[in-house]
A and B are shown apart, each in its own frame.
Chain A
Amino acid sequence: MLDATRDAFRLLFSGDPEMWGIIAVSLRVSLTALAVAAPLAVAAGYGLAVGRFHGRRALIVTLQALLSFPTVVVGLVLYLVLSRRGPLGAWQLLFTPEAMILGQIVIALPVLAAFTLAAVQGADPRIRDTALSLGAARMRAACTLLFETRFAIFAAVCQGFGRVISEVGCALMVGGNIAGSTRTITTAIALETSKGDFSQGIALGFVLLVLAVGVNVALAVLQGRGGEP
């Protein structure tokens, strides 16, 4: 174990191209998924928070249920949709980074939307009133409210990033863990550990840990800023 750990850090700091390529794929897939999911989810979360319509309560309950939806089931459904016999088989997306991005968008959407909903519901009700009263149109008032609660919204994005960067089930199902193409940090750890080669697994695990800790530190800082008067 000690030898494996020593080799792991050697791999990390030697700039091993295969390992850093895996990290690059992970970051590219997760950050792209977040970039697509975030605007949609923030808009949906805001709409659910301020809207008053039939079925709103049911939608909120469904959203909260989706928070704990197993990522491997997301992967399974997406696999069936993208496979050759599936409705989107002609797109030939299976086992590509794009399929993984799609999967992570589906995983990130409920997380981002639920946390945005909570942030907007917890926001000072005077924000929207003040914006509207100073002549803002409803869309502008919404942007103002989101800006005033930006730390909480960004915390929602951090939560979403944490969820997608560390998921393995969906990435394995629709990505296929192909070296140099769809191998992410989590799928590589699963593969290397199953082969008994722990050095790369430990190195990548360390990177995932740093990313997870980094996200939590950012969250703690943002939550502190958000609490400032």
Chain B
Amino acid sequence: MSDPLLAVRGLTKGFSDGVALLAIPSLEIAEGVCWIVTGDNGAGKSTLLRVLAGLEPAGADRASFDGRPLDLANYPDSVRREIVYVHQHPYLFARSIAANIRYGLARRGIAGSAQVSRVAAAIAWAGLDRVRDVLPARLSGGEKQRVALARAWAVSPRLLLLDEPTANLDATARVQVLALLRELALAGRTVVVACHDRELIDLPHAEQWHIDGGRFERRR
């Protein structure tokens, strides 16, 4: 049996006054699974995703990524390039959509014609052809979310972490983003989604996990 993609034993994260926000005895994300993480506001869903993305430090007895030991307080660049975190309200750099998508590719040493074709494929995948020349400041919330997903899709991360991807979207934008998320899940990508969205929660083949009072348990 192969190693889980990401495994953590004894994950802890607390507030400065000592109150525990996360206390997870064991967490193992196998490659190719889709996890939906639910929980009330303030339960720690976003914090968990940020910890797994290496954007916030946390304590752990033991952690590993693809079998390699991992310090949750200090991710090496090589691991961060395997994981992409998409914020609930994604930040798009003040440059073109293509340049936004190129950013991650350039960080991974993908340049030239490979970069050009990957950018074009990402724009097509996310249905952004119609707005490809529009600057991010003029995009709607749904379009920004799709650019952020295209940016993540283009670099083919081993682990994709999505924080409330359909929150604050109108009905049309939500449908478009949900379609992209279904594609990701069905394509066998390893995806962890924090959300309240019923349609995401009911995604077939997705495991449902729930955070409550710092505890993390499987529901389905």
Q: Does A135 contact B (CB under 8 A)?
A: yes
Q: How far is the CA of A136 from the CA of B83 in the complex (A)?
A: 12
Chain B interface residue number, banded = 20 to 34
Of the candidate stretches A4-12, A126-134, A156-164, the one touching chain B is A126-134
- Asked if B107 and A135 make an inter-chain contact with CB atoms under 8 angstroms apart, the answer reads yes
Check A133–B55 contact: CB distance below 8 A.
yes
Min Cβ gap B158→A in Å is: 12
The 0/1 profile, CB within 8 Å of A marked 1, for residues 55-90 of chain B is 100000000000000000000010011011111011
Q: Which residues of B contact A136 (CB under 8 A)?
A: 103, 107
Contact residues in A for B93 (Cβ distance below 8 Å): 127, 130, 144, 148
Q: Is B108 an interface residue (CB 8 A)?
A: yes
B155–A134 CB distance below 8 A: yes
Asked if A28 is at the interface (CB within 8 A of a chain B CB), the reply is: no
Interface membership of A228, Cβ < 8 A: yes
Q: A133-B80, A133-B84 are in contact. Are A126 and B107 (CB under 8 A)?
A: no
Q: In the complex the two chains form, is A134's CB within 8 Å of B89's CB?
A: no
Is A124 interfacial (CB-CB < 8 Å)? Answer: yes
A140 at the interface (CB under 8 A from B): yes
Per-residue CB proximity of B140-153 to A under 8 Å, as 1/0? Answer: 00000000000100
Is B214 interfacial (CB-CB < 8 Å)? Answer: no
User: In the complex, what's the smallest C-beta–C-beta distance from A123 to chain B, in angstroms?
Assistant: 10
B135 to chain A, nearest CB (A): 10
Chain A residues, CB < 8 A from B137: 228-229
The minimal Cβ–Cβ distance linking A179 to chain B, given in whole angstroms, is: 48
Contact of B107 among A124, A129, A134, A228 (CB under 8 A): A134
Which of B50, B54, B94, B104 touches A134 (beta carbons < 8 Å)? B104
Per a CB cutoff under 8 Å, which of B50, B77, B91 touches A130? B91
Q: Contact at B91–A127, with CB atoms within 8 Å? A: yes
Residues of A near B54 (CB, < 8 A) are 132
Flag if A134 contacts B55 (CB, 8 Å).
no
A132 touches B80 (CB 8 A): yes
Is B7 among interface residues, defined by CB-CB distance under 8 A?
Answer: no
Known: A148-B93, A148-B94, A229-B137. A135 touches B55 (CB 8 A): no
Residues in B with CB closer than 8 Å to A90 are none
Q: Is the CB of A126 within 8 A of B87?
A: yes
Q: Give min CB distance, B195 to chain A, whole Å.
A: 18
- Show 11 A/B contacts (Cβ-Cβ < 8 Å), sorted by A: A124-B91, A126-B87, A126-B89, A126-B91, A130-B90, A132-B54, A132-B80, A133-B83, A134-B151, A137-B77, A148-B94
Q: Which 4 A-B pairs have the closest CB atoms?
A: A126-B91, A135-B107, A134-B104, A135-B81
Given contact pairs A133-B84, A140-B107, A144-B93, a sample of 4 additional A-B residue pairs in the complex whose CB atoms are under 8 Å apart: A126-B89, A129-B87, A130-B90, A133-B86
